[in-house]
A and B are shown apart, each in its own frame.
Chain A
Amino acid sequence: MNSKPCLTLEDCKKIGAASEAEARKNKWNVTIAILDDGGHILWLERMDGATPFNAEVAIEKGRSAAVSRRTTKNWEDRVGAGRNALLNMPVLPIQGGVPIMVGAECVGAVGVSGVQSHEDEQIANAGIAALGLKV
Chain B
Amino acid sequence: MSLKPAVQAVGAAILAAFALGAAAQQPNPMDVVPDKMPFDIPYGAPISLEHAQTAIAAALAESKKRGWKLNVAVVDSGGNLVAFARQDGAQLASIAISEHKARAAAKFRRETKAFEAGIQGGNNYLITLDDVVGSRGGIPLVQDGKLIGAIGCSGGTGSQDEVGCKAGAATINK
Contacts and interface: CB of A to CB of B under 8 A. Distances in A.
Contacts of B60: 9
Nearest to B47: A48
A9 B86 contact: yes
A9 B60 CA distance: 11
B49 interface: yes
B82 interface: yes
Nearest to A12: B85
A43 B49 contact: no
A24 to B, nearest CB: 11
B84 A41 contact: yes
Contacts, number: 45
Given A45-B53, A46-B49, A40 B82 contact: no
Task: Summarize B's interface: helix, strand, loop or mixed.
Answer: mixed
Interface of B: 48-50, 52-53, 60, 76, 78, 80-88, 92, 95
A52 B49 contact: no
Interface in A62-110: none
Contacts of A40: 86, 92, 95
Given A40-B92, A40-B95, A46 B81 contact: yes
Interface residues of A, number: 15
B83 A41 contact: no
Contact of A8 (B50, B82, B84, B88): B88
A40 B89 CA distance: 12
Given A41-B95, A46-B49, A48-B49, A9 B88 contact: yes
A42 B53 CA distance: 14
Contacts of B78: 52
Contacts of A41: 84, 86, 95
B50 to A, nearest CB: 8
20 contacts: A8-B88, A9-B60, A9-B86, A9-B88, A38-B92, A40-B95, A41-B86, A42-B85, A44-B81, A44-B85, A45-B52, A45-B53, A46-B81, A48-B48, A48-B50, A52-B80, A52-B81, A55-B80, A55-B81, A55-B82
A43 B84 contact: yes
A116 B105 CA distance: 34
A47 B86 contact: no
Nearest to B64: A9
A9 B64 CA distance: 12
